[in-house]
Chain A
Amino acid sequence: MGDRISSAEMARAAEAARLEIAAAEKEDFLEAINGLFAFVRRQWETLNTEAVTPTAYVRNLKSVCRPDVPRASLPRETALANAPDAADGCFRVPKIIENQ
């Protein structure tokens, strides 16, 4: 904790989130993101949380289950109605090729 995020590290994260960062906005993005990291570090500078258990869920609910009972699925036309591209009752996506 403490180092700046490098441009390469930001690019890797953007890639993992499938986000493009245009060349023109790269600088701004890097500045802003390092600003966020700096903000967080500053705020927690003096805080020791070693002995604290993390909270993932704020309500203490456990083992919430439903019975294995079928519910109507969507009619196929409805399921596909919002699809940007569909064919043969399926969602259609462009060619899947190797990375880069």
Chain B
Amino acid sequence: MREMEAVIGLEIHIELQTGTKIFCGCSTAFGAAPNTQVCPVCLGLPGHKPVLNQKAVEYHTRAALALNCEIVPYTTFDRKNYFYADLPKGYQISQYFHPMGVNGHVDVNLNGETRRIGIRQIHLEEDTGKLLHPGEITDSPYSLVDFNRAGVPLVEIVTQPDVRNAEEARLFLQKLRSIIRYVGVSDCKMEEGSMRCDANVSVRPSDSVEFGQKTELKNMNSFRAVARGIEYEIARQTELVRGGEPVVPETRHWDEARGITRVMRTKYLATDYRCFPDPNVPPLECDPEWVARIRQSLPEPPDARYARLVHDHGLPAYDAEVITASRAMADFYEQTVDLFNEPKTVSNWLMGEVSRCLNAAGKELEETALAPQQLAGLLQLVQKGVISGKIAKEVFEDVFQTGRDPETIVKEKGLVQIADEDELGAVVDRVITANPKVAEDFRGGKERALGFLVGQVMKETRGKANPQLVNELLRQRLRN
């Protein structure tokens, strides 16, 4: 049997985090009551005129540059004409004829190997409204339309058919999300729909250069769903082709609950959008100097940062990858290291305590009040022996919850480490007296018995004892 391979192209829509919509002054905030963020423009009422949001253009340019695209000097906003209940004007305004960014790429790390996924184009367009219906769309006697989302600026990113499997698709999306978040133009939340991915999937014998018949995959609402959907579709198509059956070119829905893809029949898909330049929106001419300024204002891309953290900071590859996956985390890391120059310690804390608290709170780093000064301050307290590492975790929990300064917390709670030999010596003596059997075991050569005694001292001092000193004192006393 011939080996089969999959050919996958992705189309990603990402909502830009501007304050207002692309062609009107309505808010783009997520989660408002239905139809409370609408106006004649985004409702497509007769007589309305769209006026382009400068920030949407700027954000789009940032995204295009971050994806290594060339910026096209002249673009138009074109009407893509079709009818659907969530589309207010009967057309979507999009950069159809001259997408603003072309020929970009994203590098993905797959099992230690770098795979380059080409970006065919990135263009700016407007989002549609949202359909709500009781039950399944086709069973529901009616649908409700909320136009709050209509007109939110979107970038559409179209890859070359360079992706070969589901895992690659997932890694690409995660990398893309990281890059877009780096340049600060979107939060890319798949679960809130601010990042959405469709996939064009086909299979062919791996020695073939022709493309197989493709299907379009929709409704994958998480990274996991994208991977599962593509995997399912590859398997389905492979089976069809092997069985000598044709692949029908169609749009298929990923059914998360049943774990299958299904033919989607709700949209009256237009085959010809009859596009032409929107006579209401003047064309866009990108001033090269302006583009250069945007380019200069971009942060260091995650790949370069990763390399720097490995080479200059001496971080292990794994640490560098985790830290640079989010710009907020990487920024936080670097700012902390500026104040407390022990990269690996800082990295350990970020990947350990900080991540644990974030997960527990269900928050992103940038959504908390936590500041690098606080973490650095805490680590300095440990370094100076003011508190123990164990106490530090307790203090951090408090800092994370309340946003208060670690030193204040330590003082207020009386958590300063007991490093006074006399004070600690008294406790050590009490513990030895209270545990004669264990003390005997240690003297008899049972090294592990010491751990128990250290634990008892810590318990008595409520963790405040300097562990090194406790160790020293115990050994000294038990030698005698």
Contacts and interface: CB of A to CB of B under 8 A. Distances in A.
User: Is there any pair of Cβ atoms, one from A and one from B, under 8 angstroms apart in the complex?
Assistant: yes
Interface of A: 16, 18, 56-57, 59, 61-74, 76, 79-80, 82, 87-99
B53 A65 contact: yes
Interface string B424-459: 000000000000000000000000000000000000
B25 A71 contact: yes
B25 A70 contact: yes
10 contacts: A16-B270, A57-B282, A59-B282, A66-B52, A69-B20, A70-B26, A71-B26, A71-B39, A72-B25, A95-B140
B180 to A, nearest CB: 18
B147 A98 contact: no
B199 interface: no
Contact of A92 (B26, B33, B142): B142
A89 B145 CA distance: 9
Contacts of B38: 73-74, 79
Contacts of B270: 16
A68 B20 CA distance: 6
Interface string B139-155: 01111111100000000
A73 B36 contact: yes
Contact of A93 (B37, B145, B279, B283): B145
Contact of A69 (B19, B39, B85, B131): B19
Interface string B16-46: 0011100011110000011111111001010
A16 B51 CA distance: 27
Contact of A64 (B43, B51, B266, B277): B51
A92 B282 contact: no
B55 interface: yes
B3 interface: no
A31 B53 CA distance: 45
B35 A91 contact: yes
Given A16-B272, A62-B285, A96-B143, 6 more contacts: A56-B279, A71-B20, A89-B35, A90-B145, A94-B142, A99-B268
Interface residues of B, number: 56
B28 to A, nearest CB: 9
A63 B76 contact: no
B51 A66 contact: yes
Q: Main SS of chain B's interface residues? A: loop
Nearest to B53: A68
Contacts of B56: 68
B25 A69 contact: yes
Which 9 residue pairs spanning A and B have beta carbons closest together? A71-B25, A90-B144, A68-B55, A98-B265, A65-B54, A61-B282, A56-B277, A91-B145, A62-B285
Contacts of B40: 74
A68 B27 CA distance: 10
A interface, over-half SS: loop
Nearest to A56: B277
A97 B281 CA distance: 34
A68 B22 CA distance: 9
Contacts of A92: 142-145
A61 to B, nearest CB: 4
Contact of B35 (A16, A63, A90, A94): A90
A64 B144 contact: no
A90 B51 CA distance: 25
B358 interface: no
B274 A73 contact: no
A99 B276 CA distance: 26
Interface string B271-290: 01010110101111110000
B296 interface: no
Contact of B53 (A16, A18, A66, A88): A66
Given A65-B54, A93-B85, A73 B19 contact: no
A4 to B, nearest CB: 20
B138 interface: yes
B22 to A, nearest CB: 10
B137 interface: yes
B290 to A, nearest CB: 9
B63 interface: no
Contact of A70 (B27, B138, B142, B272): B27
